[in-house]
């Protein structure tokens, strides 16, 4: 069995990817320090797949522990690197934490991979590298803009570090630039469950619907979009997870067109915040208590992907539509209490 190391594998996107890897016949080793996820995720992955990934509660910044893991698993064929801090607002207040955890850990991970002759890396990048795009939809060869936040800058820098390493060393890498991942596994056993208060739209919607919050705010209703709210390319997390398996296979089968490649992962469609709320209210039958508030600083007005490259080169496309995304997010929110009664 081919072995894949997944950093951040108990997190939101990582856990869904571990499920897809196990279902595709890979053996999986997970490293996560649980700074933004729960150990129970490993049990839930086992419930879904009937297989248990090897789990290390390890900080990537602990070079001794990292080296020990690579020594124990000499047969790792590829690495998928999710582990990072991801709160845009927090990154403005704590840039050192973000540069250390996101950039520092990536450098250490790549260094360890090179030492152990592991030549395939998938990196979690983000549409944030495009900033406020000049034209839509966004293609991969559009200029990467000066990032609006330290978090965004860490994604841009990590892409550059990895690209430079693919030029200098025997390393292949694929950066996957996710647009807005939402939704949850159809089992409702794993989903988005950050520690503390979420910042992203979908968990705020479902927490409001279930009563964890009294009210939510729409951040700005007077943008020059058709309904006044921001437009994003929401994509189901299971679709994103499947792309990682394809990316790993592409490198392991020597199909990469270049040592470093980057692909957008989105649906190619933009939806406004009001459209997300409408889809949620209609499919759940729950009326959301919301108010239209001020614009959120740093928000881009409108962004959605051109996915031609991922469709044609990777042979990947998003299968789930917005209704399926919000339905699965809601099923997950309603199941959280059953799995985590202590929360």
What mask, x for binding ligand WQD by CB under 6 A, covers residues 74 to 113?
A: ------------x-x-------------------------
Are the CB atoms for 2 and 252 separated by under 8 Å? Answer: yes
Q: Which of 8, 221, 259, 266 binds ligand NAD (CB under 6 A)?
A: 8
217 binds ligand WQD (CB under 6 A): yes
Are the CB atoms for 4 and 21 separated by under 8 Å? Answer: yes
Q: Which of 216, 310, 325, 339 binds ligand WQD (CB under 6 A)?
A: 216
What count of Cα atoms within 13 Å lies in the side-chain half-sphere of residue 158?
37
Q: Dihedral through CA 303, CA 304, CA 308, CA 314, nearest 10?
A: 100
33 binds ligand NAD (CB under 6 A): yes
Q: What is residue 129's DSSP assignment?
A: G
Q: How far apart are the first and last CA of the chain?
A: 37
- The reply to whether 26 belongs to the active site is no
Stretch that binds ligand WQD, among 14-22, 42-50, 196-204, 249-257 (CB under 6 A): 196-204
Q: Residue 34 binds which one of ligand WQD, ligand NAD, none, with CB within 5 to 8 A depending on kind? A: ligand NAD
Stretch that binds ligand NAD, among 31-39, 114-122, 267-275, 314-322 (CB under 6 A): 31-39
61 binds ligand NAD (CB under 6 A): yes
Residue indicated by tokens 């360890």: 112
- Of 12, 38, 98, 151, which residue is the catalytic one? 151
299 binds ligand WQD (CB under 6 A): yes
Are the CB atoms for 333 and 185 separated by under 8 Å? Answer: no
Q: Which of 17, 106, 180, 328 binds ligand WQD (CB under 6 A)?
A: 180
What mask, x for binding ligand NAD by CB under 6 A, covers residues 125 to 164?
A: -x--------------------------------------
Q: Is 164 helix (H, G, I), strand (E, B) or coil?
A: helix
How far apart CA 178 and CA 187 sit, in angstroms, is 23
How far apart CA 270 and CA 15 sit, in angstroms, is 26
Are the CB atoms for 227 and 292 separated by under 8 Å? Answer: no
- In this structure, the number of other CB atoms found within 10 A of the CB of residue 160 comes to 13
Enumerate binding residues for ligand WQD (CB under 6 A): 86, 88, 126, 128, 180, 199-201, 204, 216-219, 230, 232, 273, 296, 299
Q: Active-site residue numbers?
A: 151
């Amino acid at each position: 069995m081919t072995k894949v190391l997944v950093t951040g594998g108990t997190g939101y996107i990582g856990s869904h990817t571990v499920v897809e890897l196990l279902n595709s016949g890979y053996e999986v080793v997970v490293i996560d320090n649980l700074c933004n996820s729960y150990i129970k995720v490993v049990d839930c992955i086992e419930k879904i797949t009937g297989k248990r990934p090897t789990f290390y509660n390890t900080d990537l910044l602990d070079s001794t522990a990292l080296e020990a893991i690579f020594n124990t698993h000499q047969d790792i064929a590829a690495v998928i690197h999710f582990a990072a801090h991801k709160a845009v607002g927090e990154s403005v207040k704590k840039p050192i934490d973000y540069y250390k955890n996101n950039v520092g850990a990536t450098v250490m991970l790549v260094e360890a991979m090179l030492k152990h002759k592991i030549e395939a890396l998938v990196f979690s990048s983000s549409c944030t590298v495009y900033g406020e795009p000049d034209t839509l939809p966004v293609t991969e060869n559009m200029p990467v803009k000066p990032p609006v936040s330290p978090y965004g800058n860490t994604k841009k820098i990590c892409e550059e570090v990895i690209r430079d390493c693919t030029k200098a060393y025997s390393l292949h890498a694929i950066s996957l630039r996710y647009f807005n991942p939402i939704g949850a596994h159809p089992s409702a056993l794993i989903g988005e469950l950050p520690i503390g208060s979420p910042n992203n739209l979908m968990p705020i919607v479902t927490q409001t619907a279930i009563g964890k919050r009294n009210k939510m705010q729409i951040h700005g209703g007077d943008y020059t979009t058709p309904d006044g709210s921001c437009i994003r390319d929401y994509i189901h997390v299971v679709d994103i997870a499947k792309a990682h398996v394809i990316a790993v296979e592409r490198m392991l089968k020597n199909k990469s067109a270049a040592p470093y490649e980057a692909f957008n992962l989105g649906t190619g469609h933009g939806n406004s915040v009001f459209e997300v709320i409408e889809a949620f209210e209609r499919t759940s039958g729950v009326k959301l208590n919301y108010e239209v508030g001020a614009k959120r600083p740093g928000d881009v007005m409108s962004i959605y992907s051109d996915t031609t490259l991922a469709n044609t080169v990777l042979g990947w496309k998003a299968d789930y539509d917005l209704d399926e995304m919000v339905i699965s997010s809601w099923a997950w929110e309603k199941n959280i209490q059953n799995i985590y009664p202590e929360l």
